[in-house]
Amino acid sequence: MVTYTQIKNNPTVNTFISRADESLLALGYTEHSFAHVGMVSKNAAYLLETLGYSEHEIELVRIAGYLHDIGNLVNRVDHSQSGAIMAFRILEELGMDAEDIALIVTAIGNHDEGTGVPVNAVAAALIIADKSDVRRSRVRNRDHETFDIHDRVNYSVTASKLDIDDTRTILSLSLDIDTQYCSIMDFFEIFLVRMKLCTKAAQRLGLQFELLINGQRLL
């Protein structure tokens, strides 16, 4: 079986991630490099592990999380579909089983909020882990005066926690927001569509999704 460690240490994969993030930096996007894909892999695995999925499925979602943004190498537009095709070729060349490739490619191709659908558990976990990665350290623009709304929203988040409760029925995304940089309305202008997709993805996993900002439940 092709493992997450193999993918994480693959020079070709890491080159694609680095160059894709360079393109997004030039376009003014927040960080989409190793910190992001590492966190997505970790949180997606946490979701499936907590819900009792198999070690095999957990390993596959880790791989999907690490590869999910390589399509930005081609173009930001339709990057989920581009990334799915690129991942297919990489995994096939590494000799991964067709069933495993199918799960990973489907998840990657469905992670973007514009076209994504949580069609299976791996896709659902990837969506939630990706859309919940909101944090100050993703902002690369150091000039507060020139922040766009994406910079303001991410920079305002001083703490973030994704958590499944003890009953395994409620998934909570808790954010601490410094409203000096971003209002609650600013957050929803950017993230409402993403949070709605997280709600659908949570339902696919048998969970109810809750969004808490500064201790108040908003979804």
CA separation, residue 90 to residues 79, 119, 161, 186 (Å): 16, 22, 32, 38
| pLDDT for residue 219 is more than 90 | no
> What is the topology classification, in CATH, of domain 4-217?
Hypothetical protein af1432 (1.10.3210)
The reported pTM is 0.97
| Chain center to CA of 46 | 13
The percent of residues above 90 in pLDDT, for the chain, comes to: 92
Could you say which DSSP state residue 72 is in?
G
**How far apart (Å, rounded) are the C-alpha atoms in residues 124 and 59?**
15
Predicted confidence band of residue 81 (pLDDT cuts 50, 70, 90): very high
CB 4 within 8 A of CB 62: yes
For the chain, the structural domain boundaries read 4-217
**How far apart (Å, rounded) are the C-alpha atoms in residues 78 and 75?**
7
Render pLDDT for 157-193 as a digit per residue (tens, 0 to 9).
999 999 999 999 999 999 999 999 989 898 998 899 9
**How far apart (Å, rounded) are the C-alpha atoms in residues 208 and 200?**
9
**How far apart (Å, rounded) are the C-alpha atoms in residues 95 and 33?**
26
